Amino acid sequence: MELNDRKKAILKTIVDSYIALGEPVGSKYISESSGFNLSSATIRNEMSELEEMGYLKSPHASAGRVPTALGYRTYIDSLMERYFLSIEELQLLDDVLDYKLKEFGKLMEEASRAIGDMTNYTSFAFMSSTDSLVDRYETLFVDEHNFLLIMIYKEGIIRNRHVKLQEPIDKKMVDVTRTALNETLAGISADEITLSVILGFEERLGKYKSFASSILRVIYEMLGSFDSEKVHIDGVTKLLSYPEFFNVSKVQSVLNLLEERQRFTRMLKNALPGQTSIFIGDDDQNEIALPDTGFVFHPITIGRKVIGAIGVIGPKRMDYKKVIASLNYFVSGITDTLNDNIDSNDTGETDNGKQENEE
């Protein structure tokens, strides 16, 4: 049996009410508060049919109903109204995006914290491990003890750090360093920097080889910090404010999920770029299967490659429309910035406004 307009309207009202109140919704409440020009008996009959169809269930002997996983899925896919972020919420996310990728990890953590505060759910940022390689190195002389080292990755991400040296340097030394880096270290990972590579780098530095160890130490630090897989979780205690998580074992199940990086990686690989992924409780189609839990995340991509994700975890009755609107807005902003870096890199530009500043 297909849902007619009346059943859709009643289902939408029940989901909205249950998200807001956290209590089973009865026919009397619907008839009195939602503007339906229907008797309680008619609404009650419609609710019974929705329950038979699998969209609602009765948690106990009362007349109230709550949505099932199918009910939530139908609501999200076709009934949920678009959520418009307030001026204050937009400003909060814009402030986060002003990081301009100074440090991708910090940006993700700050965004996770902001979205958690906005939605009052536990939030997370996942930064995928990456096999990204540096496409080329650039250097810029600053003064007799400092120069700027710039890494330009194949995906277009640009990172930089000020290198401070004890011995005095000049512009010639900085130019020689750039050439040596590109001839020996471009296109290889930190694990591939062997003794022979180090010796080759020193040889190409010539009379400046005494600086090799200081420069390589910075290279290792930059490659290592970018090549790690991390999960940042913010606001775990927010779960405890919802009745669904008064059972500590449910909170532990959520934490166990967040610690299983292989499952995160698998989820990311299965996620559709540019689309929000939604997992609802014990839905049969749900590989996570956390009872009474809603799990929403949006992948972040460079080109077609997923490099991370940001999302929230809360009760199954979470305010999906607000969560999705917040995630979509943030991810759109960071994705535009990341892909702008690719465009600039393709044209040979290095826009300092899009560089990571790692002073």
Relative to beta strand 356-357, strand 134-143 is: unpaired
For residue 168, report the phi and psi dihedrals to the nearest 5 degrees. -65, 145
Confidence label for 1 from pLDDT (cuts 50, 70 and 90): low
Instruction: Output 38 or 92, whichever has higher pLDDT.
Output: 38
**Same-domain status, 235 and 105:** yes
**Same-domain status, 298 and 332:** yes
Instruction: Output 196 or 306, whichever has higher pLDDT.
Output: 196
**Same-domain status, 235 and 340:** yes
**Same-domain status, 276 and 312:** yes
* Average pLDDT of the residues in 86-93: 79
- Say yes or no to pLDDT of 105 above 50: yes
| Alpha carbon distance 32, 38 (integer Å) | 10
The verdict on residue 351 lying in a domain is: no
**Same-domain status, 240 and 109:** yes
**Same-domain status, 116 and 48:** no
What is the per-residue pLDDT for 103? Answer: 62
Cα angle vertex 243, ends 242, 249, to 5°?
Answer: 95
According to the per-residue pLDDT averaged within each range, which of 104-118, 147-161, 165-179, 341-355 is highest?
165-179
What is the per-residue pLDDT for 174? Answer: 93
**Same-domain status, 15 and 143:** no
- Say yes or no to pLDDT of 26 above 80: yes
**Same-domain status, 286 and 250:** yes
What is the per-residue pLDDT for 63? Answer: 67
Q: What is the pTM of this model?
A: 0.62
The enclosing domain of 40 has a CATH number of 1.10.10.10
**Same-domain status, 209 and 244:** no
Cβ contacts of 301-304, under 8 Å, gap ≥ 24: 301/273, 301/274, 301/335, 301/338, 302/155, 302/156, 302/157, 302/338, 302/339, 302/342, 303/155, 303/156, 303/339, 303/342, 304/273
Which among 192, 227, 262 is the end of a domain? 227
The verdict on residue 281 lying in a domain is: yes
Query: Which of 87, 93, 95, 75 has its CA nearest to residue 17?
Result: 75
The verdict on residue 359 lying in a domain is: no
Confidence label for 183 from pLDDT (cuts 50, 70 and 90): very high
| DSSP characters over 229-253 | -EEEEE-GGGGGGSGGG-SHHHHHH
The count of structural domains within the chain is 3
The enclosing domain of 188 has a CATH number of 3.30.390
Residue 29 lies in domain = 5-79
Confidence label for 247 from pLDDT (cuts 50, 70 and 90): confident
The average confidence (pLDDT) of the chain is 80
The enclosing domain of 295 has a CATH number of 3.30.450.40
Confidence label for 32 from pLDDT (cuts 50, 70 and 90): confident
**Same-domain status, 314 and 292:** yes
